[in-house]
Amino acid sequence: MALDKNFLWGGATAANQTEGGVLEGGRQLANIDVLPYGEDRKKVAAGELEMLDWKEGYYYPAKEAIDMYHHYMEDIRLFAEMGFKVYRMSLSWSRIFPNGDDETPNEAGLKFYEDIFNELKKYGIEPLVTITHFDIPIHLIKEYGGWRSRKMIDFYTRYAETVITRYKGLVHYWLTINEINILLHQPFVGGGIVFKEGENKEAIKYQAAHHQLVASALTTKIAHEVDPENKVGCMLAGGSHYPYTCRPEDYQEAIKRDREGYFFIDVQARGNYPNYALKKFEREGLSIQMAPEDKEILAASPVDFVTFSYYCSRTVSAHPEDYEQATGNLFASIKNEHLPSTEWGWQIDPLGLRNSLNQLYDRYQKPLFIVENGLGAVDVPDENGYVEDDYRIDYLEKHVQAFMDAVEIDGVELLGYTTWGCIDLIAASTGQMSKRYGFVYVDRDDQGNGTLRRTKKKSFDWYKQVIATNGEAVRNQIPSAVL
Ligand code: BG6
């Protein structure tokens, strides 16, 4: 059995990691623009070091990124050449509402994305649009403290309603908030939160989470009202947790850690708070302020589909101090000796993708969409600028095989697959350009030098072939187990 003929193959990017032009066309600063390159980046991202403006002595990679603001026509042409059916991208909130609390939107910003959507339409590429991908107008942080304030629900929904209405007919697939669970790990990136001395961080994070969940549900409602054809999804930073040993307490730790992420999706997909979360709030004395109507809002508008990013699985123990740590996509993890690692220490686990798909489908019984997956690697171009990225092809081939198994053998309902960073872009965690994910090489280095010239890599033709054959090109020799 093959994938559905309408399976949505494509690639994904985010405004803050590609566009640049941060003060062009009326746009104003966002949290993500002030994340510096270098060792302070982590502290700023965690809300532990306040940086709400560009400061002397720092380099800010998002300022120009890969300058897609001026190159989007060329980039979309390349995506079309690969045969993309879908392109996942995000809107920059401060391009549309420069301060966030403006009464009216910025027409230049709205027009910019309208032009992109029309360009995509020209090639028959469906946009999949993330309304906010680590992107909050800085004024909302300075003035209201970011998502810790309930006022953010109004600012966000005004923005969401504006774009959903304006792009009616051009966009049908919406994601409300990228990797919503990142709020717990990088509160400034996910929520625009900067902590003050002595605050109860856990309470602030879950209060902000509540505001985001309500805003997300209201947006789902708006999207359905504006156009019944609209489909709205939530977005999880995925990758299941494995217990390091079969000791029950290690397994319990794995369940606990999975729930940290599922908490958000449980609310967004099922429409109510799971009991384990309510018990946690009670036990830890986290008094989360909820308005009387919130329960109803959440229940009334669950999402239509569930999306997630997948780069690696994670391994945990009740006694992590006993083991060597691996790095991972923003979460701490123990090194799993059964898995190889990327140059950045992320552990490569294609079967983990199939397992995650099964877990999510069992849990939610909603269509799934893999909206990020890929290998961050150092690419060394030859004298013609060509990159032979067999390592990337190998990574992606195994992951494509894994999700095809999940669909064809396990019966998971999967709408599509967008590889992360289909064109090289700024890495979110490190701000590096040298951590490349793309099928297209962009000539730019970690300090912002380079011509920005775009060159196809070897994986470009490989992916084109995969799409043209609806995945049959990777049907591999490794026999697939039945789950
Ligand atoms: C996800 C984000 O966390 O992982 C992306 O949604 C990010 O924005 C991607 O780029 C890969 O992480 P990194 O740090 O390698 O860019």
Pair type for strands 414-420 and 8-12: parallel
Instruction: Write out 332-378 in H/E/C secondary structure.
Output: CEECCCCCCECCCCCECCHHHHHHHHHHHHHHHCCCEEEEECCCCEC
Q: How far apart are CA 174 and CA 300, in angstroms?
A: 18
pLDDT score of 156: 98
Decide: 179 in ligand 1 pocket, CB within 6 A: yes
CA distance 337 to 230: 44
Whose C-alpha lies nearest to ligand 1, atom 8?
428
Contact (CB, 8 A) for 239 and 311: yes
Distance from Cα 462 to the centre of ligand 1, integer Å? 23
Mutate to test the pocket of ligand 1, among 310, 372, 392, 423 (most ligand atoms within 8 A of CB): 372
Catalytic sites, residue numbers = 372
CA 179 to ligand 1: nearest atom: 6
Sign of CA dihedral 252, 255, 259, 260: positive
pLDDT of 483 reads 58
- Taking Cα atoms as reference points, which of 350, 417, 346 lies closest to residue 377? 346
Predicted confidence at residue 337, as pLDDT, reads 94
Tokens of 73: 């026509």
Contacts of 268 (CB under 8 A, 6+ apart): 176, 180, 213, 216, 217, 234, 302, 303, 306
Determine if ligand 1 sits within 6 Å of the CB of residue 237. Answer: yes
User: From its phi and psi, is residue 198 left (phi > 0), alpha (psi between -120 and 50) or beta?
Assistant: left
Calculate the dihedral angle through the C-alpha atoms of 255, 257, 261, 267, rounding to the nearest 10 degrees: 50
Does 14 sit in the ligand 1 pocket, CB within 6 Å? yes
Q: Is 432 in the pocket of ligand 1 (CB under 6 A)?
A: no
Alpha-carbon gap, residue 212 to 10, rounded angstroms? 28
Nearest residue (by CA) to ligand 1, atom 12, is 428
pLDDT in tens, 280-326: 999 999 999 999 999 999 999 999 999 999 999 999 999 988 888 87
Residue nearest to atom 15 of ligand 1 (CA): 427
Q: 374 C-alpha vs ligand 1 centroid, how far in Å?
A: 10
Contact indicator for 215, 153 with CB cutoff of 8 Å:
yes
Distances in Å between the Cα of 33 and the Cα atoms of 46, 57, 58, 122 are 15, 15, 12, 31
Name the stretches of the chain with pLDDT < 50.
none
Whole-number Å distance, alpha carbon 428 to ligand 1 midpoint, is 5
Contact call for residues 33 and 16 (beta carbons, < 8 A): yes
Q: Is the CB of 420 under 6 A from ligand 1?
A: yes
Closest CA to 289 of 140, 147, 150: 150
pTM above 0.85, yes or no: yes
As given in the structure block, the two tokens for residue 170 are 């051009």
pLDDT, tens only, 205-224: 999 999 999 999 999 999 99
> Which residue lies with its CA nearest to atom 5 of ligand 1?
428
* Cα separation values, 45 from 177, 190, 430, Å: 17, 9, 10
> Quick one: CATH architecture of 8-475?
Alpha-Beta Barrel (3.20)
| Phi, psi dihedral angles at 89 (to 5 degrees) | -145, 165
pLDDT reported for residue 332: 74
Q: What is the pLDDT of residue 1?
A: 60
List the domain boundaries for the chain.
8-475
Question: Would the CA dihedral through 180, 184, 186, 189 be positive or negative?
Answer: positive
With CA atoms as reference, report the closest residue to 100 among 135, 73, 65, 49.
Answer: 135
